[in-house]
A and B are shown apart, each in its own frame.
Chain A
Amino acid sequence: HAALSRRYVLCEVVSEDPRCRQCIEDRTLGLAVRDAIARVHGDYGLACCSISFTVKYLNAYTGTVLLRCRKDSYRLLCSALPFVRYLESRAQRYPCFLNTLHVGGTIRTCQKFLIQYNRTQLLRLLQNCTNEEERQCIQKSLLSCSLTEEQSQSGDEEEDDGTE
């Protein structure tokens, strides 16, 4: 069953324009990534990477995106991600860039990494607070996160993402 191996690429959308967050949706992102692959790797690269390519998960608040592709073509995909320079929606372009965080073989490994990454990011946000009000706000949302034990065997910890 290793014949249908896939790779899951976890990245985050970084943009200076706050309106960019609104157009983070699976269709716009999928089109932007495929357009970048077509430019950088041509017809062959586009066809290679399009086999079982989807946007598996999106979080518009944190800008986290999880892409899926075949194992044979994940290098083509990863090398084309830096060439995504804007997201286009409703005839408007918002400049942004994609930061690759993690490449994993399963969604579960990417989820584990994302939980760990979000934890460190929250702590960093707390340290970078400029005034007391923001600090109080973040501390409150951190302390109000709850851990729910799943009844199933896996028992993954779930943690709320801090909304900005």
Chain B
Amino acid sequence: RGPAGRGMAGAAFERRVLRRAAEHHYLRVRLELPDGGARPNAAQFKQLVVTALRELHGEVGAALPVDVLTYEEKTLSAILRVISSGLVKLWSALTLLSFYQNRRCAFRVLQTSPFLLALSGNSRELVLD
């Protein structure tokens, strides 16, 4: 049984909920290139993200502080960090990006969280024996 809060001397507890207190949001994304071809390196990947923002949200969107924290060229997956107020702009821009160097592409957002630590585990890919 958890703490009751009543009936036990001095065991009052309070719950605090902080909304939108995090400064940054983190996204784990994967780029899909179904038609194959040369894979972008880290700089080209960042350029692609900024281009997506520029197409949908203009110069203001392209100036959004987005960082590529990690990038794996083999799997084309990355962890992006964006300022919390810009999450909707970034996610919508990634969703609507459809071409990379005239090849079809798609961004899949695998996880998102205001805490970087939360991206270390993914219960969707958990294998239970």
The size class of the interface chain B forms with chain A is 10 to 19
B98 → A minimal CB distance (Å): 13
- What's the dominant secondary structure at chain B's contact region? helix
Instruction: Mark contacts of B16-58 with chain A using CB atoms, 8 A cut-off: 1 yes-contact digit, 0 otherwise.
Output: 0000000000000000000000000000000000000111111
Instruction: Mark contacts of B50-71 with chain A using CB atoms, 8 A cut-off: 1 yes-contact digit, 0 otherwise.
Output: 0001111111110000000000
Chain A minimum-CB-distance residue to B53: A42
Residue pair B56, A40 in contact (C-beta under 8 Å): no
Whole-angstrom distance between the alpha carbons of A41 and B92 in the complex? 14
- CB contacts under 8 Å to B, within A21-75, are 37-45
The size class of the interface chain A forms with chain B is 10 to 19
Residue numbers in A under 8 Å from B57 (CB-CB): 41-42, 44-45
Chain A minimum-CB-distance residue to B62: A42
Tell which of A37, A38, A42 touches B61, judged by Cβ atoms closer than 8 Å.
A42
A45 → B minimal CB distance (Å): 6
Residue numbers in B under 8 Å from A38 (CB-CB): 58
Instruction: Please list 10 pairs of residues, one from A and one from B, whose beta carbons are closer than 8 Å in the complex, sorted by A's number.
Output: A39-B59, A40-B58, A41-B60, A42-B55, A42-B58, A43-B56, A44-B56, A44-B57, A45-B58, A45-B60
Chain A residues within CB distance 8 Å of chain B: 37-45, 79
Chain B residues within CB distance 8 Å of chain A: 53-61, 92
Q: Give 8 new A-B contacts, CB below 8 A, not counting A40-B60, A41-B58.
A: A38-B58, A40-B59, A42-B56, A42-B57, A42-B61, A44-B57, A44-B58, A45-B57
